Amino acid sequence: MSEPVSPRPVRVSESATSRILGAIDTFLADPAGADGAIGAASAELPQEVLDNVAAVERLKSYRDGVLIQLAFGLELGHGFDHTLRPEGARAAAGRVGEGFAGRHIPGVKDAYQNIGKNSVNLARGNEPAFDALLAWMNLSEIAQREALFRYLAARVAQSARAVLAMPHLRISSLTFAAVARFLDELVRIPSGGAFEQFAVAALLDALLYEFGLGGAVGGLRVVTKNINASDSSAGTAADVQIMRANKVEEAFEVSANNWRSKVAQAVAAASNADLSRAHIIAAADGDDTDMSELDGAAADVTVTDVRSFLRIITAALRKPSREHALCRLYELIDRNQPNHELTNEFVRLLSRLQLTAE
């Protein structure tokens, strides 16, 4: 079923997104203002509405859906049916999801993916609290809807994680010795393998960038998965992959432990991606000269110490590409694992080793 036609769909979609992210930014910059908006709305709105908001807040798709439907209704004015998904809502949801991620707010990529992907009708009985809010929005005055919008935007802003921003780097300081020292110290920090996996992915990405092999020109890209996801659940052949379109060109299993724990996974990665080989990047542990476990494997499995691998790639990069690698590493740590303190550890280490411009 196609979406109903609404006036100026592209412009309204953009203005609704701006309304949401603008309110979020205001409350992020003014926590006292967020508290005030929540207090004022709590006194003005019916308790039933507040109870329903509390219920949908536990379900990020429905929380974001309420916020987006409110924003469209405030932009379009009287006559807007909040129970129907307006034209442009999916685009707005994508921008809101991206905006929330960039502001360290837990959310979803596209609220309507779960609540209204294939149906214009949003009140379908799946979540009674959500349906009740949409129905109430259709009957309420604009002042009440504005109060609810500010209440929910303030609550969303308060859910932002306390994460340090990626600082500007001093490119002149990104010598091989400085970056190698940074990476050595980074992987010494216990992270459950997150720093190892994302450092490998970020430096491979920078290597493609350095030699013009990535993007539309080179056609290659690096893909990695969430640190808590298995390869099968993430739909990937390995922890880190080099892709050309939908084809896996190289597969890397990465571990903070000894490489022997990854042999079976590397063989499976090669088989699943229809490759003759796969790579293990792991921590050196004891005597690694005996590689008899690789004899007779169904794939040509290579093994490299993670610190040696990172140093070799760093040596191949010029300073601008090393900056690219460190910025990409921040993004992966921040977005692909849930412990925000690891992101903060990364930023603090950059500062302690005097790689920042501040």
Mean pLDDT of all residues in 27-47: 96
Q: What are the backbone angles phi and psi of residue 356, rounded to the nearest 5°?
A: -95, 160
Greater confidence, 336 or 183? 183
Q: Kindly state the helix (H) or strand (E) to which residue 70 belongs, with its residue range.
A: helix 60-76
Lowest mean pLDDT of 109-123, 249-263, 322-336, name the range.
Answer: 109-123
- CATH assignment of 171-352? 3.40.91
Reported confidence tier of residue 162, pLDDT bands at 50, 70, 90: confident
CB contact set of 15 (below 8 Å; sequence gap of 6+): 75
pLDDT > 70 fraction of the chain, expressed in percent and rounded: 94
Instruction: Tell me which residue of 205, 288, 292, 271 sits closest to 243, measured CA to CA.
Output: 205
> Is the pLDDT assigned to residue 86 strictly greater than 70?
yes
The 3 state secondary structure assigned to 78-121 is CCCCCCECCCCHHHHHHHHHHHHHHCCCCCCCCCHHHHCCCCCE
**What backbone torsions phi and psi does residue 130 show, to the nearest 5 degrees?**
-65, -50
Q: Has this prediction a pTM greater than 0.85?
A: no
Q: Over the chain, what is the mean pLDDT?
A: 92
Average pLDDT over residues 140-163: 95
pLDDT at 330: 97
Q: Check residues 2 and 33 and name the one with the higher pLDDT.
A: 33
pLDDT at 234 over 80: no
**pLDDT over 70 (residue 180):** yes
Strand order in the sheet with 240-244: 220-224, 240-244, 247-255, 277-282, 300-305
Domain limits, the chain: 9-158, 171-352
**Higher per-residue pLDDT: 253 or 288:** 253
Whether the pLDDT of residue 4 is over 60: the answer is no
Contact 319, 172 (CB under 8 A): yes
DSSP result, 233-244: HHT-SSSEEEEE
Contacts (Cβ under 8 Å, ≥6 apart) of 229: none
Nearest to 334 by CA among 233, 198, 234, 221: 198
pLDDT at 3: 45
Distance CA 189, CA 209 (A): 27
Structure confidence at residue 10 (pLDDT): 66
Averaged pLDDT for residues 144-169:
95
Predicted local distance difference test score (pLDDT) of residue 237:
84
Q: How confident is the model at residue 5 (pLDDT cuts 50, 70, 90)?
A: very low
pLDDT in tens, 218-232: 999 999 999 887 666
pLDDT at 8 over 80: no
Pairing mode, if any, of strands 277-282 and 220-224? Answer: unpaired
- The 10 Å Cβ neighbour count of residue 102 is 12
- What value does the mean pLDDT take over residues 158-170? 92
Is it the case that residue 30 has pLDDT exceeding 80? yes
pLDDT band at 161 (very low <50, low <70, confident <90, very high): confident
Report pLDDT for 175.
98
pLDDT exceeds cutoff 90 at 284: no
- The DSSP code for 5 is P
